Amino acid sequence: MSEQFDVVVIGGGPGGYVAAIRAAQLGLKTACVDAFIGKDGKPALGGTCLNVGCIPSKALLDSSRQFHNLTHSFKDHGITADNAKIDVGAMIARKDKIVKQFTGGITALFKGNKANPVTPIAGFATLKAGNVISIKGHDGKVAEISAKNVILAAGSVPIELPFAKFDNVRILDNAGALDVNAVPKRLGVIGAGVIGLELGSVWRRLGSEVTILEALPEFLGVADPDITKAAAREFKKQGLDIQLGAKVSKAEIKGEEVHLTYADASGEKTLVVDKLLVAVGRRAATAGLLDPSSGVKLDERGRVIVDEHCATGVAGVWAIGDCVRGPMLAHKASEEGIAVAELIAGLPGHVNLDTVPWVIYTEPEIAWVGKTEAECKAAEISYKVGTFPFAAIGRAVAMNEPAGLVKVIAHAETDRILGLHLCGANVSELVHEGVVAMEFHGSAEDLARICHAHPTLSEAVHEAALAVDKRAIHKAN
Ligand code: FAD
Ligand code: NAD
C-alpha cells in the first residue's frame, strides 16, 4: 500500500513550500515533492524564486548597485576611490551563499513544525487518477504515494525562441545570466520585460554594453506610462540601450560571438554580442505533471485551469502560483498556497488578485498596485489623478535619488484609491502603503490625512494623495 497523506504538494517553490508549511501547521499530514537540482548537484527546495529567480537576482542587483555607486555617484558625496575593481567570481560566490542559506532554510522550516513536520520528497511527480502521485526519484526509481488533497505548484520555466536555443554559454536563460563568470563586453537581451531590465541592469552597472531588443513599440506595457517614461529617462542615462519595435529573426553563434538579425521601423539590422540573454516570458511547467487519467484540465497556454479558490474542478486537486492564471510573482504564489491550505482545513481562504503589488528592482525601482489609467478607461471607471515628483522631496534629494514620481489614481466620485504607481528609490517598500489602503477600501483623502514622517520618501505618497484634490503643499497644483 502506498503511503497516504492528507496533503501532497507538487513543487517546492514559494507557492508549494509555503502551502506545505501552512498545511502542516493546521495539523494535516503533508509531503512536498520537488524535482529541482541545485548548482551543487543536490536536490534544493525553493523553486525558481530561491534558486534562480528573486533571491539570486536581487543579490546581484545589490552587488552591482554598490559597484555602480562607488564608480558613479560617490563623488557627488565627496568620496573618491581610485582603481575600483569588481571580482565577478566573489560576487557570484556571495550570491550562491545567500541562495544556499535560504534553500537550506526551507528544510529547517519543514522540520521546525515539530509536532507535525513536512515530509520532503526529491523527484519528479505525476498526478494520476484518484489523487495517486507517481514520483520518479533522481536515482530513476519510481514510487507512489496518495493524498486526500493535492496542491499543484509546479511553477514556470523560461520560454525558448526556436532560433535561439539556450546553451547557457553564449545564449542564456535567467539561470545562465545569474552565473556569468566575467563581465561580458557586449550583452544582448531579447525582451525588455522584468527579467531583461533587472538582469540587463546588473551587467550594465558592471560595465557591459547592454542592448535590449523589444518587439513591442513600448516596454512594460502593463505599467503606467508616466512611470515607465520616468524610468526610461534614467535607464538611458545609465547607458541601457533599449530598442523598441525590434523583431529578432536570427541568433547565430559564430565563434565567441552571437550575431543577431532583427528588423525595426528603419529596416533590417544586425547586432553582434558576446552573450545573449533571452527573456521573452515564462510558461507554466506543466509538461509531464498530469497523467491524462487525472482529469485536470489545462488552458491554451498550458496553465492549470482553476476557479477563484484555486480549485481545479477535480475533487481534492488544487493549483497555485506560476502554473495558474494571474501574475507570475512569488508573493502571489505564497498567498495562494496559504489560502488553499486553509480551505483544505475548512477555514476561509482567499487571495485578492486586485491588490497584488508589482515591483521591478531596477534603478530607479518601479512599483505599482491596482489599476492604471488605461485600465480605468477600459473599464469605463471615472477617475482623478494626483502626482508628486521625488525631486521635491527633501529626503530623496539628500539621498541623491531625486528621480521618479508617485501617482495616485482615485475614483472620481467616491475618492476610493484605485491604483498607486511609483518610480523612485525604495518604492518597493512604499507601494505597500497603497496595498494596505486599498485592502481597507481607503480613499485618497484617507492617505492625505495620515501624518507621514519628515523627512522620508513616503512624503511623496502623502503629497500625491493631496494632489488628487489639487492641494499638494510643495508643488503648484
Ligand atoms: P516555482 O518557484 O517555479 O517552483 C516550482 C517548483 O516545482 C520548482 O522547484 C520545480 O522544479 C518544481 N516542479 C515542477 N514540476 C514538478 C513536478 N512535476 N514534480 C516535482 N517538482 C516539480 N517574483 C517576485 O515576486 N519578485 C521577484 O523579485 C522576482 N524575481 C524573479 C527573477 C527571475 C530571474 C525570475 C526567473 C523570476 C522572478 N520572479 C520574481 C518570479 C518568481 O520566481 C515566481 O513567480 C515564483 O517562483 C513562482 O513560484 P511557484 O511556487 O509557483 O513556482
Ligand atoms: P515579461 O513578460 O516580463 O517580458 C517579456 C518581454 O519580452 C515583453 O516585453 C515582450 O513583449 C518581449 N518579447 C516577447 N517575445 C519577443 C521577441 N520574440 N522579441 C523581442 N521581444 C519579445 O517576461 P520575463 O522578463 O521573461 O519575465 C517573466 C516573468 O517573471 C515576469 O512577467 C514576472 O512575472 C516574473 N518576474 C518578476 C520579477 C519581479 O517581480 N521583480 C522579476 C523577474 C521576473
Sign, Cα dihedral of 367, 370, 376, 382: negative
Q: Is 120 in the pocket of ligand 1 (CB under 6 A)?
A: no
Structure confidence at residue 53 (pLDDT) = 98
Q: Is 256 exposed, middle or buried (0-12, 13-18, 19+ CB in 10 A)?
A: exposed
Is residue 165 a part of any domain in this protein?
A: no
Query: Any idea which ligand is nearest the CA of 58?
Result: 1
Q: Are residues 247 and 340 in the same domain?
A: no
Please answer whether residues 60 and 200 qualify as being in contact, where contact means their C-beta atoms are separated by less than 8 angstroms: no
Query: Residue 408 C-alpha to ligand 2 middle, in angstroms?
Result: 25
Using alpha carbons, select from 90, 89, 85 the residue that is nearest to residue 67.
85
Report the distance separating Cα 453 and Cα 448, nearest Å: 13
Q: Which cell numbers hold the place of 239?
A: 547607458
Confidence of residue 477 (pLDDT cuts 50, 70, 90): confident
Nearest atom (ligand 1) to Cα of 15: 51
Average pLDDT over residues 145-156: 98
**pLDDT more than 70, % of the chain:** 100
Is 133 in the same domain as 226?
no
Instruction: Say how far apart CA 134 and CA 373 lie, in whole Å.
Output: 48
Nearest residue to 113 (alpha-carbon basis) of 17, 33, 200: 17
User: What CATH number corresponds to the domain at position 219?
Assistant: 3.50.50.60
Residues 22, 147: one domain?
Answer: yes
Q: Which ligand is nearest to the CA of 322?
A: 1
Look at residue 251 and tell me if it is in a domain. yes
Protein residues with CB under 6 Å of any ligand 2 atom: 161, 190-196, 198, 213-216, 219, 248, 279-282, 327-329, 359-361
Specify whether 42 is located in the same domain as 26: yes
Find out whether the beta carbon of 195 lies less than 6 Å from any atom of ligand 1.
yes
Averaged pLDDT of the chain: 97
- Residue 33 CA: nearest ligand 1 atom is 20
- The answer on 175 and 150 residing in a single domain is no
Please spell the DSSP secondary structure of 35-69, one letter per residue: --B-TTSSB--SHHHHHHSHHHHHHHHHHHHHHHI
CA-proximal residue: ligand 2, atom 15 (nearest):
280
At CA 191, angle to CA 218 and CA 337, rounded to 5?
100
Residue 169 Cα to ligand 2 middle (Å): 21
Using the 3D structure, point to which of 230, 252, 280 is the last residue of a domain: 280
- Alpha carbon of 364 to ligand 1 centroid (Å): 25
Residue at which a domain ends, from 280, 302, 333: 280
Closest Cα to atom 22, ligand 2: which residue?
191
Whether residue 475 is contained in a domain is answered as no
The DSSP line for 322-341 is GGSSS---HHHHHHHHHHHH
Catalytic residue among 259, 454, 462, 474: 454
In a domain, 435, yes or no: yes
Q: Is the CB of 176 under 6 A from ligand 1?
A: no
Which of ligand 2's atoms lies nearest the C-alpha of 262?
19
Scanning the structure block, which residue is given the C-alpha cell 502571489?
A: 332
476 belongs to a structural domain: no
- Residue 277 burial class via C-beta count within 10 angstroms: exposed 0-12, middle 13-18, buried 19 and up: buried
Atom of ligand 1 nearest to the CA of 48: 2
Look at residue 307 in the predicted model and tell me its pLDDT. Answer: 97
Note the ligand closest to the C-alpha atom of 127.
Answer: 1
Question: What is the CA(475)–ligand 1 centre distance, in A?
Answer: 43
Which of 8, 9, 54, 283 to probe ligand 1 with, by most ligand atoms within 8 A of CB? 54
Tell me, what's the pLDDT at 130? 96
At 385, which CATH number?
3.30.390.30
Over the stretch 253-306, which tens digit does the pLDDT of each residue have?
999 999 999 999 999 999 999 999 999 999 999 999 999 999 999 999 999 999
Q: Are residues 111 and 70 in the same domain?
A: yes
Taking the CA of residue 361 as reference, the ligand 1 atom at the shortest distance is 28
Give me the mean pLDDT over the 122-131 stretch. 98
11 lies in the same domain as 42: yes
User: Ligand 2: which of 282, 334, 366, 429 to mutate, judged by most atoms within 8 Å of the beta carbon?
Assistant: 282
Decide which of 321, 354, 387 is a domain's last residue. 354
In sequence order, what are the residues at sequence separation of 6 or more whose Cβ sits closer than 8 angstroms to the Cβ of residue 305? Answer: 296, 297, 298, 299, 312, 313, 324
User: What is the pLDDT, as a whole number, of residue 1?
Assistant: 61
Tell me what percent of the residues of the chain surpass a pLDDT of 90: 98
Which atom in ligand 2 lies closest to the alpha carbon of residue 330? 40
- Tell me whether residue 246 is in a domain: yes
Task: Identify whether residues 299 and 403 lie together within a single domain.
Answer: no
CA–CA distance, 275 with 253 (Å, rounded to integer): 10
**What confidence tens digit (pLDDT) does each residue in 194-210 have?**
999 999 999 999 999 99
* Dist. CA 47 → ligand 1 center (Å): 5
Amino acid at 441: H
- Tell me the pLDDT tens digit for each residue of 415-465: 999 999 999 999 999 999 999 999 999 999 999 999 999 999 999 999 999
Spatial separation of the C-alpha atoms in residues 347 and 341, rounded to whole Å: 9
Do residue 61 and residue 136 come from a single domain? yes
Mark whether 421 is an active-site residue: no
The number of distinct structural domains making up the chain is 3
Ligand 1 centroid to 13 CA: how many Å?
A: 5
pLDDT value, residue 82: 87
Please give the grid coordinates belonging to residue 346. 475548512
Q: Which three cell numbers stand for residue 384?
A: 482623478
How crowded is residue 436: how many other Cβ atoms within 10 Å of its Cβ?
12
CA atoms within 13 A on the CB side of 312: 25
Cα 334 to chain centroid distance, Å, stands at 12
Q: How many residues does the chain have?
A: 477
Residue of the CA atom closest to atom 41 of ligand 1: 329
Q: How far is 219 from 227, CA to CA, in rounded Å?
A: 11
Q: Quick check: is 197 in a domain? A: yes
Same domain? 273 vs 290: no
Whether 39 and 112 share a structural domain = yes
Range of the domain at 450: 364-467
- Please tell me whether residues 197 and 311 are part of one structural domain: no
C-alpha span between 275 and 263 (Å, rounded) = 20
Say if residue 155 is exposed, middle or buried (CB neighbours under 10 Å; 0-12, 13-18, 19+): buried
In a domain, 163, yes or no: no
Q: How remote is the CA of residue 360 from the centroid of ligand 2, in Å?
A: 11
